[in-house]
Amino acid sequence: MAGKISKIVVLTGAGISAESGIPTFRSSDGLWENEPVEAVATPEGFENDPKRVITFYNERRAAAQKCEPNAAHHALAKLEEKFGDNFLLITQNVDDLHQRAGNKRIIPMHGELLKVRCLGSEEHIISCTENQPEKCLECGAIMRPHIVWFGEVPFEMDRIQKALMQCDLFAYIGTSGVVYPAAGFRQIAKLSGARVVCLNLEEVGGGYTDEFIQGKASETVPKWVDFTIFNS
């Protein structure tokens, strides 16, 4: 590895939680094979049939809470412990496995399953570990899952952009790299001078990547983290 690393940004996708028992989106038995995306993951789907969407996320919330972080989540918590403020984890995942593993410097850019928000005020976000209420208990407005749906803008894009431009190592783990804007992060990091590493079960297309590490996240990520800490 050339030179010392000072700032690391890691992007994770559904593949890092797969071995914890949370299905990915685009595999043959993935979530989007069984549910039409437009019905459960778009603002229009929610407008057409809010009960269906709420039920879908209630089920996912219940299922995710039965799962535990795996060795890959724990390894990223170790990386944050080592790099502190020079580490940032961006996740497309809406489960809370990274948080439960101990990561604190984290941006859940696609929202969080364990939160819902009131449409009466976008500022009103509450934690929700069970079935979500359909209406806000305070103002009576409609409540929705705190999830970024297709067609909506992910959270904290300014902070993400800045971190990508300042890092010298960017790793993307367990993501198919087809959903923008996250799919474009490797390009921003690479063009800003970072070394870019991909860790995935299978090779995902797309340039701007210096190194590809193939395998299950629970095996590759702990090794990569140890290597990165050793070389820092």
Q: Which residues are catalytic?
A: 110
Using CB under 6 A as the binding rule, whether residue 20 contacts ligand APR is answered as no
Compare residues 141 and 213 and give the one whose CB is closer to ligand APR.
213
CA distance from start to end of the chain:
9
For residues 174-193, one letter each, b for 16 or more C-beta atoms within 10 angstroms of the residue's C-beta and e for the rest, the string is bbbbebeebbebbebbbeee
What is the pairing mode between strands 106-108 and 87-91?
parallel
Of 18-26, 42-50, 60-68, 78-86, the segment contacting ligand APR by CB under 6 A is 18-26
CA distance 116 to 97: 18
Site string for ligand APR, 78-97 (x = CB under 6 A): --------------x-----
At position 143, the amino acid (one-letter code) is M
Among 60, 74, 146, 216, binds ligand APR (CB under 6 A): 216
Using CB under 6 A as the binding rule, whether residue 13 contacts ligand APR is answered as yes
At position 23, the amino acid (one-letter code) is P
CA distance 155 to 158: 9
Compare residues 18 and 88 and give the one whose CB is closer to ligand APR.
18
Compare residues 86 and 220 and give the one whose CB is closer to ligand APR.
220
Strand order in the sheet with 87-91: 106-108, 87-91, 8-12, 169-173, 195-200, 211-214
Using CB under 6 A as the binding rule, whether residue 200 contacts ligand APR is answered as yes
Using CB under 6 A as the binding rule, whether residue 175 contacts ligand APR is answered as yes
CA distance 114 to 188: 30
Compare residues 38 and 47 and give the one whose CB is closer to ligand APR.
38
Of 56-64, 99-107, 125-133, 194-202, the segment contacting ligand APR by CB under 6 A is 194-202
The residues of the shown chain that bind ligand APR, judged by CB under 6 A, are 13-15, 18-19, 24-26, 30, 92, 110, 174-176, 179, 200-202, 204, 216-217
